[in-house]
Structure 1
Amino acid sequence: MSDLPTCTCCQRDLRDYETGRYACTLCEKRIEGHLAQIPDLFERLDDHLHRGAGSSGPAVSGSKTAPIPCRLDVLNLRTAAGPALAPLETWVRDWEQNGFAEVNELGSAADRVGHACRTLRFNLSSAVARHGAIDEFADEIASIHRHLTRITTGETAPRRIAVTCPCQQTLRITLDTRGETCPRCGAEYGHGEVLRLPLADRRAA
């Protein structure tokens, strides 16, 4: 077996030119790609705010029909405390404490998402080499990217998968699950850890 250190994100052996890093260059490029796309995906949420948006043409001024109800999941995503902007700015604050970034909470939610992603991209190479939680960062950025992509492309929600905790408790997760706590033994799993749990057999599931 190779005694080379491994990437904390994908577990691939690091090459000689990647030594001293927490993540390989392939994972760094994947993270950078997600960060580059998130601001545009976030701005496109406005086109999907109403149920049926994009499928029936533009709204007609003066219509006597009841207004189309808003999608609460999209409204929540567009808020400062939602599952897109809040974690992005949490990582900026975390990197700021390590000398990698600077927080800026001015402007609209879209402005702040754009600033956070630009800041995280600018400092990504330093973080990959110096930040021990880069795997958690990669998982969360990928989760945000998938969430936004599903809404803006109309993809269905991910299928739930049954996995088994060592205490034999069945946990039902998705590929987007950020973490899970076992209700039986209290074990806490991060995104990568819970995805590595063994699949439950069909009877348990």
Structure 2
Amino acid sequence: MNLAEAPEPRCTICTRALYADEIGRYACHPCARRCDEQLLELAGPRGLYAKLGSRLAPGSGSGGPAVSGSRTAPVPLRLDVLNLLTAGGPVLGPLETWVRDWEARGRAELNEAGTLQQRVNHAVSTLRFNLEWAVANHEAFDEFAREIHLMHRQCAVPVAGERPPRAIPVTCPCGAVLRVTLDTPKVSCYGCHTQYGHSEVLRLPVAERRAAA
């Protein structure tokens, strides 16, 4: 291939052209720094994961008073928040999956001992310690960064009392209507089983109202 025709190296996350000091990396410095900051904000006693415990009561975090004044969250609990706090939920589960992946490459060590908070802290610390290695060597760093962004967003929404992102109906070429949000990392079409990544699913046409009904 003619060198003049070689594709310009780009960040796999924001897709901008890489600067000279970023060549050989899978992500630009700003995208890698954003991923590191989001990991940092998840862990610790004042992190987003720890703050979720105070958002279990219906009505908490919405700007108004909590349903109950007791220290124990009333029943029913906010199941969306409770799910975020479970061992196999969308926070600790993916974090430890990535630690296992990096462990297989000799760059991390999984520790499933201790409380869920301690496991989150350990996973975040391990991933942050090896982040620069991953940016330069892990071919799926873009997938990793998008999953970190998603779990950060999922934790930040209830903590800040925001409404969850609105679902948008889009149409797969097979005719199936998929409901996605701007935070959807990937989705599998139930009609034809096509796998769509984040950017791919957002390029699908918005479904007509009669199709989305």
**Which residue of 147, 156, 163 corresponds with 2:163?**
156
The amino acid of 1:15's aligned partner reads Y
2:65 matched residue in structure 1: 56
Pairing of 1:27-106 with structure 2 (within 5 A): 27-39=31-43, 40-53=47-60, 55-56=64-65, 59-60=69-70, 67-106=74-113
* C-alpha RMSD over aligned residues: 2.3
Match of 1:26?
A: 30
Q: Distance in 2 between matches of 1:69 and 1:182?
A: 33
State the match for 1:184 in structure 2.
191
SS at match of 2:110: coil
For 1:71-150, list aligned pairs within 5 A.
71-150=78-157
Distance 2:118 2:111 in 1: 10
Using structure 1 for the length normalisation, give the TM-score: 0.88
Indicate the SS of the match to 1:171: strand
How big is the shift at 1:60?
4.9
Number of residue pairs the alignment of both structures matches: 201
1:152 Cα deviation (Å)? Answer: 0.5
- CA drift of 1:41 comes to 0.2
- Secondary structure at the residue paired with 2:192? coil
Name stretches of at least 5 consecutive residues in structure 1 with no aligned partner: none
Match in the other structure for 1:10: 14
| 8 Å CA contact 1:139, 1:192 repeated in 2 | no
Seq. identity, %: 53
Q: Does structure 1 retain, via aligned residues, the 8 Å contact 2:60–2:161?
A: no
Instruction: Please state how far the C-alpha of 1:203 moved relative to its aligned partner.
Output: 5.9
TM-score by length of 2: 0.85
Q: Which runs of 5+ in 2 are unaligned?
A: none
Mapped to 2, the partners of 1:139 and 1:60 lie a distance apart of: 37
